[in-house]
Structure 1
């Protein structure tokens, strides 16, 4: 499961915010001086910093909070980096027993509709998630199906809004407008730290442009001296006050996964 930053997460290209002098001594503003171009440049830099991990796996605990009630789910997530396309991921539920064996497969595409399937062991069949339904909740959580795809720069239009400090960290604040007509969001506002280009907080606005949810990503750890991964993600739904927390541990990189591990047949065999 790769939640944007995703369980996920996100990140390409060097960001240049300087200006270049003209021969007549006047300064020429670069494209990044425009909010839209600067926002796009920040998104590209995020993606650039997360290239080359090839494949990984992690253990995941999902905690659903609804009032005083709390339920827990243990899962595993497998991810594959795909050159010239979006990433692939598979999430496998290990407990509790009522969801054990359920598996979710997701293919992200930069310039096309994403593909998603859900295997339901009780029915022994694979259900394809229609594009029109991906704004629905994933397995009763506050995450939507569309939140589980990898971050792809081409799926949004961007605008840098301002610089701001969040929890003591200097951040870019960037607006992202989904290009997908079936997205459940009108926009997302992200706080991205200037040092490592990690998403620290994302506000999700519904189709009526009202704040719907806030995702907070924290406790980042560095892997292979290059790749930052959050070990905690918390999604708060402002409409119903429910919260879903995700804890990730035991990240493994270069595990030998390949395309054959991410098919509908492998989805049925997931254990």
Structure 2
């Protein structure tokens, strides 16, 4: 009797083990580069957030600081980012606005208001690679918010790093795109718990080492993650920019008129 029960128990264990093997294999299934990039692009980003963003630019032992109030929210299928600078006094009132459209057939839009000219100008897509406000970030870096443009790159996966992060590689789709975004490609470490890149190494359009972005800290508002401490290092110039976000909080009832490009000259005095 005992021998029969023991045999039945062994059969049950063997069956459970055999059943669990496909599930374990499925859990360990490698993800393609396109799947990883899509998960990054589709991570929650809709929760309205506000805070103060500070850029500290370092060059040969010298440093300069610029600070702006930040407001990030979503309207229908568009992520919107508004920055209104108040430090230093020489750029106070300068405001930046971007519309990042989800639909592939819509072109993203970016505007910059400069008090010195009293004019709001639209930043063309061809200027995405230009330096943003003297930092080591480009306009595209700021607008994209750690999301790789699905139309800009072809993606591949290089497996996982020892820390469990996915290794995602991207290559600019063509020479024109590379010139426009300022990058020939990148290699990124992506945290699967947040689908946030924690380290990105970019090359220039010629394939040479250009700059690295290292994310030290993230904070969550609702379901949406924000990088609150990261450093951008330009390997060609030796300059770096440290970016910190303080006072990150939910922005309830944000005034929709703040996101009107025609009112960008008044954004600085009306930020929540």
Q: Indicate the TM-score class for this superposition, using the shorter chain for normalisation.
A: 0.7 to 0.9
Q: Partners in 2 of 1:231 and 1:88 — Cα distance?
A: 18
- Give secondary structure in 1 for the equivalent of 2:164: strand
C-alpha change, 1:153 and 1:243, in structure 2 (3 Å) is closer
* TM-fit CA distance, 1:255: 1.9
Which one of the candidate residues 119, 135, 141 is aligned to 1:141? 135
Deviations 1:180-233 (A, max 9, x none): 722211112110123332211011111001110100111223333x33322211
Deviation readout 1:150-185 (Å, 9 max, x if unpaired): 3365333321112113xxx32101012345722211
Q: Larger % of helix: which?
A: 2
Q: Does 1:255 find its partner at 2:249?
A: no
2:229 corresponds to 1:232: yes
TM-score by length of 1: 0.79
Q: How does 1:144-163 map to 2 (within 5 A)?
A: 144-150=138-144, 151=147, 154-155=150-151, 156-163=153-160
1:189 counterpart residue number: 187
Q: 1:236 offset after TM fit, Å?
A: 0.1
Preserved CA contact (<8 Å) 1:44 1:153: no
Match of 1:115 among 84, 99, 109: 109
Q: Which of 67, 71, 74 is residue 67 of structure 2 equivalent to? A: 74
TM-score, normalized by length of structure 2? Answer: 0.78
**1:58-97 alignment runs, 5 A limit:** 58-85=51-78, 87-97=79-89
1:96-147 CA distance string (max 9 Å, x none): 1111111111112342432111111011111221222221111111011111
CA distance in 2, matches of 1:245, 1:84: 31
User: C-alpha root-mean-square deviation of aligned residues, in Å?
Assistant: 2.6
Rounded Cα–Cα distance in structure 2 between residues aligned with 1:270 and 1:84: 22
2: CA distance between counterparts of 1:204 and 1:131?
A: 19
Larger Rg: 2
Contiguous gaps of at least 5 residues in structure 1:
1-18, 22-27
What is the aligned length?
Answer: 238
